[in-house]
Amino acid sequence: MNNAAETPGEADETYDVIVIGGGPVGENAADRASRTGLSVALVESELVGGECSYWACMPSKVLLRAGTVRALARDTPGLADPGDIDVAAVLARRNEITNDWDDSGQVSWVEGAGLTLVRGHGRLAGERLVEVTVPRETPAGSAAGGDEDGDVGGGLGEAETGEAPVTRLLRARHAVIAATGSVPVLPDTPGLAAASPWSSREATGAESVPESLVVIGGGVVGVEMANAYADFGTRVTLLARGGLLSNAEPFAGEMVAESLRAAGVDVRTGVTVASVDRPGTGSESEPAGPVTVSLSDGDKITAAEILVATGRVPRTADLNVEAVGLDESGLGRHGALPVTESLEVVGVPGGWLYACGDVTGRAATTHQGKYQGRVVGDVVAARYGTQAGDRSPTTDDPGPAVGQEGQPWSRYAATADHGARVQVVFTRPQVGWVGPTEREARAAGIPVEAVSYDLSWMAGASVDGPGYTGRAQVLVDTQRRVLVGATFVGPDAGEMLHAATIAVVGEVPLDRLWHAVPAYPTVSEVWIRFLESYGL
């Protein structure tokens, strides 16, 4: 940590709270923070709604949907085979769901919630100070701005007519919340950068589909996009240096690999990419040719396009954290902003700087980030808000004092980030899990017994279709006789998961769980089989 913070200048505008980053997480944090009468500015450099709405969760799920429904139809006796997917129609639906990459709908929501949108790139500029740079190409119509009294500060509307970018200095009376998300990682593999590879943005935003695609990375983006493009008829090769979905239970990755292979994907696990080669620059005079990927075992794969899906890192590189006394040693893994349970940034005293979402490095999903956004918003609202009323927190708990942690499981602590994190992968079959894997639980010293069951044996599965494939596993803490984790693999696993999440978060004793009766004939009857297999 570096103690020298930059000297604050005179601010152009003042708000009670400034949120940097208008993704799903920043939006939630800003909304909750405003609930006790605080004025909140939301600073966004690109599209309000963030990665999730335009290049991640939403478009990727639309790309997967047609293939999922086609597989269901094929597995339902009595329905004609739907045949090939109408790719153009799927891409058109994707454009609809992203609102053609136009954020006016979300801007209306921000305005309706009483927040002030400030377009531009925010950088920390000292204690409670944020400098916002507005690029000249900002469209006039999107230059929402102004302080809480309604005065336009900094002349955002003139931004596109001036020579230099406009800079506005914002001051927060109380708190700044960083919700800047994450950026994809590009490995330094020889030839890879020069091959102009796709990131998840190009994969989710493509205007047409390539004849062949090689995907590097067997994580969530890799398997979801391999599945979607294979459904579209693209010849896909998926290269993973380990197994697939290495953060999940091993059986989950194995089942996804088997299903991808059945869908025609060439899945290669345990392989290393040595180099990438692509002729042409991609310019009009020199169009890019096919990509050749050389593996360290000597094999070569040639494809029309290449997608790099090797993870994402917290976006702090352009946040100027040095201005608040943080240097590299004060940051977490891959530059994450380290936070307390109440999401105060560690190493910045005074309880004014907070962080939530991907930028904290704690979890990289929208739902987990939005949960943090609710926690941090409530902490700030309770600490600094003045107006009681309908929108104030609904409990008597006044929240933790500055520098103190919220009580575990109170609304002021992101407790579920540790033992009850949730993830759903929308491949076919879907994979959903909550809490630690068996290996992680044992490494943490939790005495667990894994109880596993083949979901196709359930009456509900036979009704769904003769080709139903699925498996589920729960982890029982044998000392406390509660569930600490669960994994579901199968159609609609994502929808089935929440029952397990409630059991884990609620620490429901097995003897009480016995009385939660699943309806017949549903796949959820597996809950009775779990308990019977455990000895109840």
Ligand X SMILES: NC(=O)c1ccc[n+]([C@@H]2O[C@H](COP(=O)([O-])OP(=O)(O)OC[C@H]3O[C@@H](n4cnc5c(N)ncnc54)[C@H](O)[C@@H]3O)[C@@H](O)[C@H]2O)c1
Q: Which residues bind ligand FAD (CB under 6 A)?
A: 20-26, 43-46, 50-52, 56-57, 60-61, 121-122, 179-182, 200, 204, 221, 315, 318-319, 357-358, 364-367, 369
Closest CA to 345 of 418, 384, 398, 403: 403
Q: How far is the CB of 38 from ligand FAD (least distance, A)?
A: 20
Binding footprint of ligand X, residue count (CB under 6 A): 24
Which amino acid is it at 146? Answer: G
Q: How far is the CB of 266 from ligand FAD (least distance, A)?
A: 21
Partner from ligand X, ligand FAD, none binding residue 311, C-beta < 5-8 Å depending on class = ligand X
218 forms part of the interface with ligand X (CB under 6 A): yes
User: Which of 166, 192, 221, 483 touches ligand X by CB under 6 A?
Assistant: 221
Q: Write out the E strands in 166-253.
A: 166-178, 182-184, 212-216, 235-240
Q: Which two tokens stand for residue 175?
A: 């708190």
| Cβ-based neighbours of 187, under 8 Å, separated by 6 or more | 216, 273, 308, 310
Residue 45 or 342: which CB sits closer to ligand FAD? 45
The strand pair at 121-126 and 116-119 is best described as unpaired
Q: How far is the CB of 373 from ligand FAD (least distance, A)?
A: 8
Q: At what angle do helices 250-262 and 220-231 cross, to 10 degrees?
A: 20
424 forms part of the interface with ligand X (CB under 6 A): yes
Partner from ligand X, ligand FAD, none binding residue 217, C-beta < 5-8 Å depending on class = ligand X
Closest CA to 500 of 513, 512, 519, 486: 486
Q: How far is the CB of 275 from ligand FAD (least distance, A)?
A: 25
Residue 518 gets which letter from DSSP?
A: P
Q: How far is the CB of 532 from ligand FAD (least distance, A)?
A: 33
| Cβ-based neighbours of 453, under 8 Å, separated by 6 or more | 471, 472, 473, 526, 529, 530, 533
What's the order of all strands across the beta sheet hosting 212-216? 266-269, 235-240, 212-216, 305-308
Query: HEC states along 368-406?
Result: HHHHHHHHHHHHHHHHHCCCCCCCCCCCCCCCCCCCCCC
Q: How far is the CB of 264 from ligand FAD (least distance, A)?
A: 21
Of residues 227-256, which lie at the interface with ligand X (CB under 6 A)? 240-242, 246
Partner from ligand FAD, ligand X, none binding residue 180, C-beta < 5-8 Å depending on class = ligand FAD
Q: How far is the CB of 191 from ligand X (least distance, A)?
A: 13
- Name residue, tokens 């953060």: 247
Q: Give the integer Cα–Cα distance in Å for 329 and 337.
A: 11
Three-state secondary structure call for residue 345: strand
Partner from ligand FAD, ligand X, none binding residue 219, C-beta < 5-8 Å depending on class = ligand X
Partner from ligand FAD, ligand X, none binding residue 400, C-beta < 5-8 Å depending on class = none
Angle of CA points 308, 313, 314, to nearest 5°? 145
Residue number with the shortest CB distance to ligand X? Answer: 219
Q: How far is the CB of 41 from ligand FAD (least distance, A)?
A: 11
314 forms part of the interface with ligand X (CB under 6 A): no
User: Which of 120, 122, 181, 219 touches ligand X by CB under 6 A?
Assistant: 219
Of residues 267-296, which lie at the interface with ligand X (CB under 6 A)? 273
Query: H or E stretch including 117?
Result: strand 116-119
Partner from ligand X, ligand FAD, none binding residue 195, C-beta < 5-8 Å depending on class = none
Residue 179 or 382: which CB sits closer to ligand FAD? 179
Q: How far is the CB of 179 from ligand FAD (least distance, A)?
A: 5
Residue 172 or 240: which CB sits closer to ligand X? 240
Residue 60 or 427: which CB sits closer to ligand FAD? 60
Q: Give the integer Cα–Cα distance in Å for 59 and 90.
A: 10
Partner from ligand X, ligand FAD, none binding residue 85, C-beta < 5-8 Å depending on class = none
Partner from ligand X, ligand FAD, none binding residue 315, C-beta < 5-8 Å depending on class = ligand FAD
Q: Give the integer Cα–Cα distance in Å for 235 and 263.
A: 10
Contact 25, 134 (CB under 8 A): no
Q: Which two tokens stand for residue 492?
A: 């609609």
Residues that bind ligand X (CB under 6 A): 187, 216-222, 224, 240-242, 246, 273, 309-312, 364-365, 423-426
